[in-house]
A and B are shown apart, each in its own frame.
Chain A
């Protein structure tokens, strides 16, 4: 069909956009608006789902962490806490949903090593340190800096490095264990060393999985102090079963159940929530 020349005086013909185009434009605007809100967050999970052999470990989980916030995550066994950590740190890729760090870094596109370099540190449930190396060397390997094999080969120790290590040793109360092999530390000290290794990475966000499991009461109190100290300068997510410990932290609590958020708020609010009570006390 030939296009008609527009005659002078006549109004220009209005071309109505394709309905899909309108819909897409609206969607894009909504996405941008969401992105704007998202940009202010440190960690943003939306509609994340992950299933293993049909079992939904994470089911449409949405969670937002603000910059500088400390959050405790509780939930019964199998609630998806560790899988959530795996997704954030790149160990597991979600089936669907969005995971953003610092607002616009899509974590699903990165692997563990590059997520660690972006500034997310993770402490495992079982203390995982380099047992055949001494405490100082454990920290040295964790210090922020180049992660290339050849730079490690040429590496020379510097005074700044030593100063940082001193500082972390003091924070984690391990100064007198400096030259001990990590294998010779007590369980609690290994946990602190691992937290120290996270600090050495200088991350913006720390994910800490059950830090006080197997600790004595004194060690638990010390760990709470350590985490509160860390939380002054960084964002921290703590997964924990120990309610006394969570109370000691005194932060906002998220309760997970069957892979999604059941309740969120202060510990008192969450523990008064009838759904939480039901989940914990059984049906």
Chain B
């Protein structure tokens, strides 16, 4: 009960919905007959799983943007790094089943005439090591990047530009064959994960469920952090950074904490994304991807926890729809949606609903108070405005 009150009903509702989806959608896919109205077709499950990964990425971005006010235009980089770490594990799992049949070297290395495995590919045949790297690589990069950027007090648009430059630099680096990550083609042709065939319906269902659980944990984490005193401090840094400094806090550490945690969440999202889409290539580092994440959070409503999740699910699914129906128009739709939300719903969908709800409740209270005021006997002495009950009480 205390925990329920601590995190607020909305966070728990979202977690409950996610956990229900994690159970019900795989069940419906695997057990219901194909002609049942509630059956979820097999090609939809990984698609939904992909959206859930996007939602986790949007939630991660919102932790730094919505709550601390750092507009990162490079969160796709952390997502892609997590994805690459998982991709390397999946490549090593292929073993001798590759086109060239080399038991150790992935196909692209054989193709490039590499004699042996580069040092940074060692260990990725173990799942635990890959899982560690999924967390460590994006986390460490964010920590080092944030350490220099925040301590040098780089803020605002300058910070956004260098995050964009970061992801662009990684894009160029990963395009190179010499980097040892498959160059332009990236990593693909995965066979199995933890011994289970990656194409199998059960594996897909399990990956979808895992993504939902990861998102639920992310929601709980962000909920707990933002409800703590640190959460207030994050808001304080966002609103008046210099004030926090003059009362003795070090905003650079608050930002560093949020940025690192957020990068780790983005890395996990990327790691769950890769086995479901079956490929990771340098395109994931493209700056436009990172900007799309910002659009998701903005449309859903930043700083609301629910908002980025809703925004990502909504925009990503409409992207699937529009790119199938009218592929040439998708970018116009996305741009139009962003302009519309910025102009007419600056708080995003969830933020606007919240604000409207709060305003409506306050008006209701005020009108009730006014009714009580007029209902008083006219003989009563005139009261000074300050003596009237305040509507907030």
Contacts and interface: CB of A to CB of B under 8 A. Distances in A.
Interface of A: 89, 91, 112-114, 116-117, 121-122, 124, 128-133, 137-138, 140-142, 147-149, 152-155, 176, 179-180, 197-198, 200-201
Interface of B: 225, 228-230, 232-233, 235-236, 238-240, 242-250, 253-254, 257, 390, 392
A113 B233 CA distance: 14
Contacts of B392: 179-180
A129 B243 contact: yes
Nearest to B245: A112
A128 B243 CA distance: 7
Given A141-B233, A176-B390, A149 B247 contact: no
Contacts of B257: 149
B232 A137 contact: yes
Contact of A147 (B240, B249, B390): B249
Contacts of B238: 132
A273 B106 CA distance: 87
A121 B229 contact: no
Contacts of A114: 248
A238 B294 CA distance: 44
Contact residues of B: prevailing secondary structure: helix
A112 B236 contact: no
Given A141-B232, A155-B228, A130 B249 contact: no
Given A152-B228, A198-B247, 10 more contacts: A89-B246, A112-B246, A113-B245, A113-B248, A121-B247, A122-B246, A132-B238, A149-B230, A152-B233, A154-B228
A236 to B, nearest CB: 16
Nearest to B232: A137
Residue in A128, A141, A197, A201 whose Cβ sees the most chain B Cβ within 10 Å: A141
A154 B229 CA distance: 8
B230 A201 contact: no
A201 B240 CA distance: 17
10 contacts: A116-B245, A122-B246, A124-B242, A133-B235, A133-B236, A137-B232, A152-B230, A176-B390, A200-B247, A201-B247
Contacts of A148: 253
Nearest to B252: A113
A153 B246 contact: no
Given A149-B253, A152-B233, A153-B225, A131 B245 contact: no
A215 B242 CA distance: 23
Contacts of B229: 140-141, 152-153, 155
A197 B247 contact: yes
A132 B235 contact: yes
Contacts of A133: 232, 235-236, 239
A105 B365 CA distance: 54
Contacts of A122: 246
Contacts of B242: 91, 112, 124, 128
Nearest to B256: A149
Contacts of A113: 245, 248-250
A151 B22 CA distance: 34
A112 B153 CA distance: 13
Nearest to B244: A141
In the A-B complex, list the 5 residue pairs whose CB atoms are closest, starting with the nearest.
Answer: A116-B248, A155-B229, A152-B230, A130-B236, A153-B230
A116 B228 contact: no
Contacts of B390: 176
Contact of A128 (B230, B233, B240): B240
A261 B236 CA distance: 36
B235 A116 contact: no
B246 A141 contact: no
B246 A116 contact: yes
Contact of B247 (A116, A137, A152): A116
Given A130-B236, A130-B243, A201 B228 contact: no
Nearest to A137: B232
A146 B178 CA distance: 48
A130 B235 contact: yes
A128 B249 CA distance: 15
B233 A131 contact: no
B254 A149 contact: yes
Contacts of A142: 247
A81 B129 CA distance: 58
A137 B247 CA distance: 14
A137 B235 CA distance: 11
A141 B248 CA distance: 10
A171 to B, nearest CB: 17
A144 to B, nearest CB: 8
A159 B246 CA distance: 25
A77 to B, nearest CB: 22
Contacts of A149: 230, 233, 253-254, 257
A124 B248 CA distance: 15
A103 B234 CA distance: 35
A92 to B, nearest CB: 13
Contacts of B236: 130, 133, 138, 141
A87 to B, nearest CB: 14
Nearest to B224: A153
A116 B246 CA distance: 6
A112 B246 CA distance: 6
A193 B115 CA distance: 69
A49 to B, nearest CB: 24
Given A152-B229, A152-B230, A130 B240 contact: yes
A176 B391 CA distance: 12
B289 to A, nearest CB: 30
A237 B235 CA distance: 29
Contacts of A179: 392
B239 A130 contact: yes
Contacts of A198: 247
Nearest to A157: B229
Residue of A131, A132, A149, A200 most packed against chain B (CB within 10 A): A149
A122 B243 CA distance: 9
Contacts of A201: 247-248
